[in-house]
Structure 1
Amino acid sequence: MNGYDIIYNNKIDDHITFIRINPTDIKVTLREIFNSISNIAWISSFDEDYIKDGFKVRAEATIDYISKNIIRSNEDEVTKNSGECLVSELARKTVVSEMKYLDIPLGELIKEKDFGNHGFDFFSKNNDNILLFGEAKYVAAQNAYGKALKQIVKFIGKKDKSDVIAIDKFCCEDSKRNFASGNKGFMAAFAAKSTSTKKIIKGIQENTDFQELIKYNELICIAVNI
């Protein structure tokens, strides 16, 4: 039991996908998310010891922080911090499992921390070697797709360029060449309320930031029911 189901996964255009995730047991879901984040087996895929050691230090420090401040072992409700963490990791895991895209660890585990907004939350690569940059937003009282889309547009040309350095070791040369040529995609993950899927999709399609993002190679919108 993983505490969540994929209740919708469809194309709304050739290069645009909408996915909806429904956590069925918040306590189980949060535990699953923490276990997923804590699994650092991916580090062993690197050959160089200095890379393994560097990622290990970053990942373990983040995992320790999350366990003490965001998702605790007895957590049975979603807060602002755990909500954003849940949305990020559920979206990332779903893109990997449902779309068979590249599995890149959550941004918090692999990026060096800096001042201000740390950039995109999660990443992947599609089967056409296009890098995808993901932003997650949680708002307790409303659907948060507007905030996720707006943040992505704000980041384009700035945070994506700096984040490529962070994910460099996970990406093939073709994907990096594609990115340098302006070929890239985005993932908008957000907390959703009881609004129908049809109404959420309609609202997204009418959003001005969405209209900007559909110009890129791929866009994935991921709603998480919390």
Structure 2
Amino acid sequence: MQTSVTARVAPTIQKIMSDFNNGTNPTVNSDTGEKLVSEISRRTLVEDYDYWDMPIAELFKQKKDGNPGFDFHTVTPDGLLLMFGEAKYVANTTAYNSALNQIGKFIKERKDMMDLFEIHRFMPSQTPLENANNNIKGYIAAFSTNGDTDSNIMSKVTGHKNYNILSLYPLFIAIAVDL
């Protein structure tokens, strides 16, 4: 199993290292920015709010870069809800629109259900998977900000066309990351 994990993760790690230029180039491009937003959001939920710890999708999905589904996944602290996270980075602006649009598109395309095949082995139990299959699940919109105020971000998120759709689910979380 270790050999399989290493074979799958190594190309992604190499891509991330290349994107960061081994630390010598501090410029954040869209790929590295999205990975940063994804990992910062995931770690915040895990470390500060006791959500289930799972690796970002880039590390276990087949593609080494730009996975075809949600960027990260977690389970609520009570172990009931599987959360599907989408991260977006856009330089010089707040990327809430991109994140919320992508989540809406992924829901229509059932990308959340497609992700279950690859994430089931990371689950703490069968409960969040069963709940997700019964449409009891949640979503996370993680996005870069550009010095926007909290109230302005909240106003934009709650005024977005997909907010009403996302608020129908048991839990929707918006995470703004200032890079």
| CA distance in 1 between partners of 2:12 and 2:49 (Å) | 27
Q: In structure 2, what is the equivalent of residue 55 of structure 1?
A: 5
Query: Aligned letter for 2:6?
Result: K
AA aligned opposite 2:84: F
Structure 1 residue 205 displacement after superposition: 0.8
Distance 1:83 1:67 in 2: 13
Map 1:54-73 → 2, pairs under 5 A = 54-70=4-20, 72-73=22-23
Aligned partner (choices 58, 71, 75) of residue 121 of structure 1:
71
Q: Which residue of 1 aligns with 2:164?
A: 211
Q: Map Cα deviations across residues 62-109 of structure 1 (whole Å, 9 max, x no partner).
A: 101211234522232322221111111101111111110000001000
The two structures have a TM-score, normalised by structure 1, of 0.73
Per the alignment, do residues 223 and 106 of structure 1 end up closer, same or farther by CA in structure 2, a change over 3 Å counting?
same
User: Residues 140, 53 of structure 1: CA spacing in aligned structure 2 closer, same or farther, 3 A cutoff?
Assistant: same
| CA pair 55-117 structure 1, distance change in 2 beyond 3 A | closer
For residues 126 and 107 of structure 1, what CA distance do their matches in structure 2 show?
17
Percentage of identical aligned residues:
36
Looking at secondary structure, tell me which structure has more strand per residue: 1
Unpaired segments ≥5 residues, structure 1: 1-48
1:79 is matched with which residue?
29
1:105 partnered with 2:55 = yes
For each residue in 1:115-171, what CA deviation from the matched residue of structure 2 results, as whole angstroms up to 9, or x when unmatched? 986110011000232100000111112111011011001101521111111111011
- In the alignment, the residues of structure 1 paired with residue 165 and residue 21 of structure 2 have an alpha-carbon distance, to the nearest angstrom, of 35
Q: Distance in 1 between matches of 2:172 and 2:45?
A: 12
AA partner of residue 158 (structure 1): R
Amino acid corresponding to residue 117 of structure 2 in structure 1: I
TM-score by length of 2: 0.91
Partners of 1:70 and 1:81 within 8 A in 2:
no
**Is the Cα contact below 8 Å between 1:71 and 1:82 reproduced in 2?**
no
Partner of 1:131: 82
Distance in 2 between the 1:115 and 1:140 partners? 19
Tell me the amino acid that sits aligned with residue 139 of structure 1: V
- Name segments (4+ residues, structure 1) moved above 3 Å: 114-117
Is residue 131–residue 185 contact of structure 1 (8 Å, CA) maintained in 2? Answer: yes
Counterpart amino acid of 1:64? Q
Paired residues for 1:105-184 under 5 Å: 105-113=55-63, 118-128=68-78, 129-156=80-107, 158-171=110-123, 172-184=125-137
Aligned with 2:46 (options 75, 96, 101): 96
C-alpha spacing 1:71/1:187, structure 2 compared with 1 (3 Å): farther
Larger Rg: 1
